[in-house]
Structure 1
Amino acid sequence: MTIHPEIAKVLSTLPAPDGAPLDPAAMRAGEAAHVPPADQRLPLHAVDDATAVTPAGEVPVRIYTPAEAESYGLLVYFHGGAFFLGSLDTHDHVARSLAKETGCKVISVGYRLAPEAAFPGGLEDCYGVVRWAAEQGRSLGWDGRILAIAGDSSGGTFAAAVAAKAHDDGFDRITHQILFYPSLDLDFDEDRYPSMRENAEGYGLETAGLRPFNAFYLESGAEPTHPLVSPIKRNDLSGLPAALVITAEHDPLRDEGELYGRRLYEAGVAVTISRYDGANHGFVQNFSWIPEFYRAFEETADFLNGAAVNPGARP
């Protein structure tokens, strides 16, 4: 399927990459300039900023309560942005939509960004907030049933790594992991996945940009083959939480996400792999105003309610 016409319109306005060095501060400022004012955001029962006190330090979080209720499932959300972009504000609309559709109380994590905090800084923040959420369950109104984690793009890297780290630590409270077009293999090889070639140029995220984008996160000397850096490198995926893996047809990262889903299935994990045709990388953040792509939030709700987990995986 060709790229969705509304996405194509936006892509046609983007300047071609010029090969200039990336400037994190300028790029963050550019993102911040496009954040809509608070009165134009999806209304919820409550949205509160707080601080999670974790072993990694104090981590800012934003807590979204969809409606008044006696208790809630909890969904801890990690925003995307190639590890050096994104914030509680740039992905505020994603967290709001997740809360509205799932009925969960969503905790969005303002983790430390690279290059100021390279690996494992952001990962430690994300993991720490998940443990904090479980510990603060009573004050958060947790129903004790659902403790899900979700992330888009590099946030999906964190979600997969947090699920694995929790399993290895014997922390078994995480019930679901939702990975929106995740980056799971930072050991880049353009020939390893066909989607790296098929979607190399013209769809927003370009294959040639992956290495410089993620270099900030790896500046600590992190090894791309380490399974907490590249979760697809983990040998044993058994025992991990049920997974929803959402991919985009026109995304260089499509095939690694789908391969990870198949490997989870082969390891005995309940998995749904869902490819969104006509979509590109980042569609949940950038194009969820298109009804067929907003469906990703509804599919997440079905997954958390048990309706979307199937016994097989997309080949």
Structure 2
Amino acid sequence: MRLDPFVAATERLLAAGDNPAFNPDPAERRRLTTAADHRAYSVLGRRRIEVATREQEVVVPGYPSARLRVYWPTESPAEPGADLPVLVHFFGGAFTIAGIDWPGWDHQFRTRAHEAGVIVVAGEYSHAPEVRFPAQPEQCYAIFDWVVRHARKLGADPARVAIGGASSGANLAAAATLINAERADHPVRLQLLEAPVVDLTGGHLDPRAVSRFLPRIALRPVFEPVVKEYLGPDRRLRRHRYASPLRAPTHRGLPPAVILTAELDPLRGDGAAYTRALWRAGVPATCVQYQGQTHTSGGLTGHVPAADHLHRDVVTTLRTLHDDPPEYATPAAPHTVGPRQLLADLLPWLRRR
């Protein structure tokens, strides 16, 4: 495994001392990473895309209210009846940092809305450890539910709704999708999960993303503090379906999913495992792994060719929401391909040689 040299060059460009994401004090970590995001926005030469926006506060019974920002694809809000697709998206930040006001996330929301011709609704959830689980899944579901119920007024089509997120935001998007299936069953066209963490037990962490000689236990010092800040000391919560959507008792009936992972990200195992879980439940799911990429390099558009390609993949995927969904045949039960089957598949090719 080798790091993409374009990623390495861009990381050198952005390097500024110690990684603020590892500061042990949550408030200070938040302050430092926010400053780092503003600096990266400038260093990477981002250009603000002018689109119409609107903010809304959503009441979440029993939990702190949640804020969202609507991004329309043009400089004017869509009129009711425009029936545009809409993506409800949740930012990543290890449950403790980042937000919809970060220039980097704001740039991504504006760009995707504009280039895909869809409405993007960016949802904000409370930071841990000041506010802990299950507040965040409830907030994210409340945002999603609000969007569906107000879709027509936003100029959106409630039958063309996607839900997505990155990293911890992908965890919350998957959790909100489960909550929706249990409570309201609003139609969802797509789950778009980028570098997702969907098993907070750590059971699917993949140390081979760092080194083939690294034991899984070596990842615990990085993973454990994040989980404890979000869930608190009760280890039983790690298996709760809203904390670890991969461990939900069933995934049957969930919407189709596109899952994007990175070769050099220990969370790549979560994305692959979730794809297989959806397959077993008969859910159409696609998992793409970007070689030489890290957990965060997908955000380095304009500097890393693979990041640009990931962006085009996402935009193309979002554009499919404008079309009617395809009808697939009933999937066959997944099965393991053994050595005999592999040999049988290879023999015709070998004979042609």
Structure 1 segment 1-40 matched on structure 2, within 5 A: 1-9=1-9, 11=11, 13=15, 22-33=24-35, 34-35=37-38, 36=41
Contact 1:151 1:159 in 2 (8 A): yes
Q: 1:93 aligns with which of 94, 101, 107?
A: 107
CA 1:54–1:225: 2 relative to 1, 3 Å: closer
Is 2:53 aligned against 1:42?
no
TM-score w.r.t. the length of structure 1 is 0.86
Match of 2:140, as an amino acid?
C
Once the two structures are overlaid, the 10-residue window that deviates more, 301-310 or 178-187, is: 301-310
Answer whether contact 2:167 2:196 (CA < 8 A) is retained: yes
Q: Give the corresponding residue for 1:227.
A: 241
Over aligned residue pairs, what C-alpha RMSD do you find? 3.0
Cα deviations by residue, 1:17-57 (Å, 9 ceiling, x for unpaired): 89x861111111112223248x9543133123332334345
Corresponding residue to 1:238 among 244, 248, 252: 252
3-state SS of paired residue (2:292): strand
How many Å separate the matches in 2 of 1:198 and 1:162?
28
Structure-to-structure mapping, 1:1-315, within 5 angstroms: 1-9=1-9, 11=11, 13=15, 22-33=24-35, 34-35=37-38, 36=41, 41-55=47-61, 56-67=63-74, 69=78, 70-90=82-102, 91-189=105-203, 192-193=204-205, 195-199=206-210, 207=219, 208-219=221-232, 221=234, 223-285=237-299, 287-289=300-302, 290-304=304-318, 305=320
How many pairs were matched up?
305
Gaps of 5+ in 1: none
2:345 aligns with: none
**Paired position in structure 1 for 2:348:** none
Q: Which amino acid aligns with 1:210?
A: F
Q: How many angstroms does 1:243 deviate by? A: 0.3
Q: For residue 70 of structure 2, what is the amino acid of its counterpart?
A: I
How many Å separate the matches in 1 of 2:145 and 2:110?
Answer: 22
Q: Which residue of the partner structure matches residue 350 of structure 2?
A: none
Aligned partners of 2:268, 2:120: CA distance in 1, in Å? 26
Shift of 1:136: 1.1
User: Sequence identity of aligned pairs in percent?
Assistant: 30
Give the 3-state SS of the residue equivalent to 1:245 in structure 2. Answer: strand
Counterpart-to-counterpart distance in 1, 2:165 and 2:280: 22
Larger radius of gyration: 2
Q: Give the aligned residue type for 1:209.
A: V
Residues in 2 aligned to 1:76 and 1:228: alpha-carbon distance in whole angstroms: 18
Q: Distance in 1 between matches of 2:187 and 2:137?
A: 18
Corresponding letter in the other structure for 2:33: E
* Inter-partner Cα distance in structure 1 for 2:114 and 2:230: 32
Deviations 1:192-239 (A, max 9, x none): 55x2244269xxxx9331111222101173611111111111131110
What is the deviation of 1:117? Answer: 0.8
- Cross-structure match for 2:351: none
Secondary structure of the corresponding residue to residue 251 of structure 1: coil
Give the structure with the higher percent helix: 2
Measure the CA separation in 1 of the matches of 2:47 and 2:202.
37
Structure 2 residue identity aligned to 1:8: A
Structure 1 contact 102–298 (Cα < 8 Å) conserved:
no
Measured in 2, the distance between the counterparts of 1:138 and 1:220 equals 43
SS in 1 for 2:66: strand
> Shift in Å at residue 303 of structure 1?
2.7
Q: Which runs of 5+ in 2 are unaligned?
A: 213-217, 338-353
- Counterpart of 1:58, as a letter, is S
Question: Which secondary structure does the structure 2 equivalent of 1:51 belong to?
Answer: strand
CA distance in 1, matches of 2:24, 2:174: 27
